[in-house]
Amino acid sequence: MLHIKCPHCGMRSQNEFSYGGDATVKRPELNKEVSDQDWDNFVYNRKSLRGKHKELWQHISGCRQWIKIERDTATHEIFKTVKASEDI
Ligand SMILES: [Zn+2]
């Protein structure tokens, strides 16, 4: 089980969090022509990388805030956690 340091609440059990996906995916700009392939990439296509990865998590059983985590997907080591509005 992971222990995640919420930037708002401190160290908590993974059970209090919900995984929210890849934190590096950028939504296509509004009011611009977007190809079907760009929408497919935004909505569906994800890489399943081994190693360091930036992820979104929500502290659902705590402050309910979204946070970003840099985690190794092979070892589950967490290197850094920040507020969702911050760059990781
Ligand atoms: Zn929290």
**């985690």: which residue's tokens?**
71
DSSP state of 85: T
**CB-count exposure of residue 88 (10 Å: 0-12, 13-18, 19+):** middle
Ligand 1 center–CA 69 separation, angstroms: 13
What pLDDT digit, counting tens, does each position of 50-77 carry? 999 999 999 999 999 999 999 999 999 9
* Residue 1, pLDDT above cutoff 90: no
Ligand 1 center–CA 33 separation, angstroms: 38
Q: How many domains does the chain have?
A: 1
Kindly state whether residue 76 falls inside one of the protein's structural domains.
yes
Q: How confident is the model at residue 88 (pLDDT cuts 50, 70, 90)?
A: confident
For residue 42, the surrounding DSSP H or E stretch is helix 36-43
Tell me the residue range of the domain where 58 lies: 3-24+40-83
**Three-state SS at 79:** strand
Ligand 1 center–CA 52 separation, angstroms: 22
What pLDDT digit, counting tens, does each position of 20-54 carry? 999 999 999 988 999 999 999 999 999 888 999 99
pLDDT of residue 12: 98
**């969090």: which residue's tokens?**
17
